[in-house]
């Protein structure tokens, strides 16, 4: 029974991490229409920073693993630094990739950035120990809490869920604010949004950086749980799983994100473990990705708006509450304030 | 000092030839159909594997080149008619289509991983003593790669400038609706585009693995960033632009590798991409580009 309990608690942690990613990508793509195909590098940088700042100082090139930012910081600090790193990298990448250009170009550029980041980190052993990656990351407060392994597992799972719920509340508040309405205005009618005085470039950069902070945090939570991180964990295909999840679930609403994350990364990638192994070892892993690609393509063909599409938002009848106005209100009210 | 420069320029031209062949196919496809095809790398790998299988069964590498090109052409035509057009008919625009090609690339790559058992295969053909020319030392294979690149470039330019099909291709790239109105059979032209760009793609895959001497499931995907950057830098639909961009990128990458260590050569590719973005607003601006696919 305890093996099952262990396994389920692991799934809960993965679910929380994937849900954070889903929330982040849904904010970026579902609400703002910014396609972040480089998502995984922001998660990766968070994981690396959290790992390096918890592992202690690097002991030099001759040692077992070699990395930058080595420090031995107490528990919540590495996680916060992970969020900061995700945000900072997003700002850098965003500044040159979010220029006004065709969205297919933009997607391709971000994908290329992922591939290049992967090559640089793999090749440059001095950064984060190259292709071997970092390992032996201590679990936060493992000794301080004085819990058994199984109790610790569940405590960590609960902590991940709490963090995820907190992020959800913050992001939901953001997406329902005037700023969130501005994001949707930008997504649906970019020219009209510009015309009413929204600064598209700044909005895009803001949503990119906020998503990047969440990505970094999710990477930190993940690496403090599994204890190791290497380029194998963040291939370009990994961004895809989360994208497939929010596409399948439905964009622009949170029920869709939860459903998608339940379906794709959890059920879909975990179920094959219980199927009988076919062929040589590793065949199942390859086929999993083939199926992810096919699900993605089928979803784009048959349900391009997902299983739970964004509801068509209409203005609240109770006009005394202008803050509740959503959908296609008069342009001035999109901003939640009157225009000069 | 000068010797290092000369030899890295020579290596740069070799790399540029490989990039150029792929980028010419990419730019013809992209310029005509408006599909930013991220599964292009996967099709390159297919071409490479076909050539590998052919040569490992005792077929000459020259036929391997041809077989790789044929495989690329057939696969691309099937994808174009069987996949991309289906999505276009259902109202996919350029962005949705790119997302489709991304999924397709994943399917192709990991199918190849499943078939190839995730191994990297050695591909050594046409080996013989290197040729010395002053400070420049190239293997005959590298000379052949440059020659293939040059021949393809001249042939493609001749096709586009001197034949009727080339004229139709250029007309469609300029304005698909107008070309159709003028009586050009656009369906045929699109089919021809898939075949032509697919053949170049498959050929590029074979040339790439001849140059690097190994082939694995992610070979093409890892090479694709350079190809796309060259195609965008050169301007969509312009083979001459693609070749010039490929030369710039190949030579810069190799010079950086020679002077700054091979680590930074990928970073140099990255730098060029940033320069692409900052230097060609006309190519990447929303305003001029159409949102419609020509399928």
In this prediction, residue B291 has a pLDDT band, given cuts at 50, 70 and 90, of low
pLDDT at B235 over 90: no
Task: Render pLDDT for A90-102 as a digit per residue (tens, 0 to 9).
Answer: 999 998 788 777 7
Enumerate residue ranges in chain A where pLDDT < 70: 1, 60-63, 312-340
CA B57 to chain centre: 26
- The answer for residues whose C-beta is within 8 angstroms of residue A2's C-beta and 6 or more apart is A150
Which CA distances in Å does B254 have to B21, B71, B231? 18, 31, 19
B118 near A CB under 8 A: yes
Q: For residue A115, give the nearest of B225, B263, B267 by CB distance.
A: B225
As given in the structure block, the two tokens for residue B138 are: 């190239």
| A262: nearest Cα among A270, A272, A274 | A270
Nearest chain B CA: its distance from A113 CA (Å): 8
pLDDT of residue B288: 42
Interface test with A, best of B86, B102, B230 (most A CBs within 10 A): B102
Residue B280: φ, ψ to 5°? -120, 60
Distance (Å) from the alpha carbon of B103 to chain A's nearest alpha carbon: 5
Chain B segment 36-55 residues within 8 A of A by beta carbon are 36, 38
Domain that includes residue B64, residue range: 15-222
* Inter-chain CB proximity B90 and A37 less than 8 Å: no
Looking at beta carbons, which residues of chain A come within 8 Å of B232?
105
Which candidate from B92, B106, B263 shows the least CB-CB separation from A124?
B263
Q: Calculate ∠ Cα A102-A107-A111, nearest 5°.
A: 150
CA angle, corner B134, sides to B133 and B140, nearest 5?
25
Contact list in B for residue A293 (CB cut-off 8 A) is: 103-107, 110
State the pLDDT at residue B267. Answer: 66
State whether B36 and A123 contact (CB < 8 Å).
Answer: no
- In this complex, do B284 and A282 lie within 8 Å of one another by their Cβ atoms? no
Q: Which residues, at least 6 apart from A70, have a Cβ–Cβ distance to it below 8 Å?
A: A52, A53, A55, A56, A57, A58
Measured distance CA(A259)–CA(A276) in Å, rounded: 26
Q: Which residue of A has its CA nearest to B233?
A: A105
Total count of domains within chain B: 1
Q: Does the beta carbon of B289 lie under 8 angstroms from any beta carbon of chain A?
A: yes
Between B186 and B265, name the one with better pLDDT.
Answer: B186
Q: Which of A246, A252, A87, A256 is nearest to A176 (CA)?
A: A252
Sign of CA dihedral A124, A239, B228, B165: positive
Distance (Å) from the C-alpha of residue B283 to the closest C-alpha of chain A?
9
Output the six-digit token pair for A268.
């879909």
User: What's the pLDDT tens digit per position in B254-269?
Assistant: 888 888 766 667 667 6
Residue B171 lies in a domain: yes
Interchain contact, B103 vs A108, CB within 8 Å: no
Write out chain B residues lying below 8 Å of A113, CB-based. 270, 273
Whether residue B279 is contained in a domain is answered as no
* pLDDT tens profile B105-147: 999 999 999 999 888 888 887 667 788 887 888 888 899 999 9
Domain ranges, ordered by start, for chain A: 10-234
* Contact present, A46 and A69 (Cβ < 8 Å): no
Residue B285's pLDDT is 42
| Helical pair A103-123 and A39-55, crossing angle rounded to 10 deg | 30
| Percentage of chain B modeled with pLDDT above 70 | 89
Is residue B129 included in any domain, yes or no? Answer: yes
Give the Cα separation of A115 and B9 in Å (integer): 25
**In the predicted model, what is the mean pLDDT of residues B150-154?**
96
Interatomic CA distance for residues B51 and B62, integer angstroms: 9
| Residue of A112, A246, A279, A291 to mutate when probing chain B, most B C-beta within 10 A | A112
pLDDT at A336: 46
pLDDT band per the 50, 70, 90 thresholds, residue B243: very high
- End-to-end Cα, chain B, rounded Å: 52
CB pair distance less than 8 Å for A294 and B103: yes
**CB distance from B120 to chain A under 8 Å?**
no
A→B contacts (Cβ < 8 Å), by residue, are 35, 37, 96-97, 99-105, 107-109, 111-113, 115-116, 119-120, 123-124, 236-237, 240, 280, 282-283, 286-290, 292-294, 296-297, 300-301, 304
Taking contacts as CB-CB distances below 8 angstroms, the residues of chain A near B102 are 37, 107, 111, 240, 296
Q: Is B92 helix (H, G, I), strand (E, B) or coil?
A: coil
Residue B270, in any domain of the structure:
no
Q: What share of chain A is helix, strand, coil (3-state, %, to 5)?
A: 70, 0, 30
Report chain B residues whose CB lies below 8 A from the CB of A289: 106, 109-110, 113
- Strands (DSSP E) contained in chain A are 134-135, 228-229
Q: What is the mean pLDDT of residues B10-34?
A: 93
Higher pLDDT, B197 or A71: B197
Q: Are A53 and A78 in contact (CB under 8 A)?
A: yes
DSSP B121-143: EE---S--PPEEETTEEE-HHHH
Which residue carries 């790439």 as its tokens?
Answer: B208
Which of the residues B225, B228, B291 would you substitute to probe the A interface, choosing the one with the greatest number of A C-beta atoms within 10 Å?
A: B225
- Cβ atoms of A229 and A134 within 8 Å: the answer is yes
Contacts A240 to B, Cβ<8 Å: 102-103, 106
- B19-23, B211-215, B240-244: which has the highest mean pLDDT? B19-23
pLDDT of residue A21: 94
Candidates A190, A207, A30, A193; CA nearest to A101 is A190
User: Please, are residues A160 and A313 in contact by the beta-carbon 8 Å criterion?
Assistant: no
ipTM: 0.85
**Nearest-CB residue to A293 (from B103, B225, B269):** B103
Q: How far is B130 from chain A (nearest CA, A)?
A: 29
The residue of B82, B114, B118, B271 whose CB has the most chain A CBs within 10 angstroms, and thus the best one to mutate to test that interface, is B114
């Amino acid at each position: 029974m305890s093996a099952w309990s262990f396994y389920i608690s692991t799934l809960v942690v993965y679910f929380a991490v994937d849900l954070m990613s889903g929330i982040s990508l849904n904010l970026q793509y579902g609400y703002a229409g910014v396609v972040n195909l480089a998502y995984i590098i922001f998660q990766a940088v968070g994981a690396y920073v959290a790992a390096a700042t918890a592992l202690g100082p690097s002991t030099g090139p001759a040692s077992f693993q070699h990395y930058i930012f080595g420090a031995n910081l107490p528990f919540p600090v590495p996680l916060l630094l992970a969020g900061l790193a995700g945000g900072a990298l997003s700002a850098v990448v965003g500044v040159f990739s979010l220029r006004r250009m065709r969205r297919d170009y933009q997607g391709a550029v971000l994908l290329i950035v992922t591939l290049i980041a992967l090559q640089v980190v793999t090749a440059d052993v001095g950064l984060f120990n190259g292709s071997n990656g970092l390992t032996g990351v201590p679990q936060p407060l493992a000794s301080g809490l004085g819990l058994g392994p199984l109790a610790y597992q569940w405590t960590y799972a609960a902590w991940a869920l709490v963090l995820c719920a907190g992020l959800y509340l913050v992001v939901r508040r953001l997406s329902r604010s005037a700023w969130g309405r501005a994001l949707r205005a930008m997504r649906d009618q970019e020219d009209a949004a510009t015309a009413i005085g929204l600064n598209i470039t700044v909005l895009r950069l803001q949503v990119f950086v906020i998503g990047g902070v969440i990505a970094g945090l999710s990477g930190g939570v993940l690496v403090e749980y599994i204890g190791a991180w290497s380029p194998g964990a963040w291939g370009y295909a990994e961004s895809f799983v989360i994208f497939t999840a929010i596409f399948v679930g439905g964009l622009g609403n949170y029920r869709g994100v939860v459903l998608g994350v339940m379906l794709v990364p959890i059920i879909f990638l975990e179920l094959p473990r219980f199927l009988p192994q076919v062929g040589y070892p590793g065949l199942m892993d390859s086929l999993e990705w083939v199926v992810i690609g096919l699900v993605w393509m089928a979803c784009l063909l048959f349900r391009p708006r997902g299983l739970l599409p964004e509801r068509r938002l209409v203005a609240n009848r109770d006009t005394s509450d202008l803050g509740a106005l959503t959908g296609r209100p008069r342009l001035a009210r999109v901003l939640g304030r009157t225009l000069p | 000092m000068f010797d290092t420069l000369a030899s890295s320029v020579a290596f740069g031209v070799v790399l540029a030839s490989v990039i150029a062949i792929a980028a010419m196919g990419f730019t013809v496809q992209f310029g005509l159909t408006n599909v930013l095809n991220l599964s292009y790398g996967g099709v390159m790998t297919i071409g490479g594997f076909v050539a590998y299988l052919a040569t490992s069964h005792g077929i000459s590498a020259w036929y391997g080149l041809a077989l790789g090109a044929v495989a690329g052409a057939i696969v691309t035509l099937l994808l174009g008619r069987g996949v991309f057009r289906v999505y276009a008919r259902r109202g996919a625009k350029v962005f949705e289509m790119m997302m489709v090609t991304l999924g397709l690339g994943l399917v192709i790559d990991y199918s190849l991983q499943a078939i190839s058992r995730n191994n990297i295969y050695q591909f050594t053909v046409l080996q013989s003593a290197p040729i010395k020319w002053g400070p420049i030392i190239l293997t005959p294979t590298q000379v052949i790669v440059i020659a293939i690149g040059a021949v393809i470039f001249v042939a493609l330019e001749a096709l586009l400038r001197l034949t009727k099909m080339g004229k139709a291709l250029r007309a469609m790239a300029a304005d698909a609706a107008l070309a159709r109105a003028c009586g050009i059979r656009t369906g045929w032209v699109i089919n021809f585009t898939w075949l032509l760009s697919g053949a170049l793609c498959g050929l590029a895959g074979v040339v790439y693995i001849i140059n690097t001497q190994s082939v694995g499931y992610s070979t093409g995907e890892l090479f694709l960033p350079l190809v796309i950057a060259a195609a965008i830098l050169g301007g969509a639909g312009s083979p001459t632009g693609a070749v010039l961009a490929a030369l710039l990128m190949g030579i810069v990458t190799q010079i950086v590798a020679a002077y700054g260590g091979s680590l930074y050569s990928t970073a140099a590719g990255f730098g060029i991409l940033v320069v692409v973005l900052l230097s060609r607003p006309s190519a990447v601006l929303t305003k001029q580009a159409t949102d419609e696919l020509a399928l």
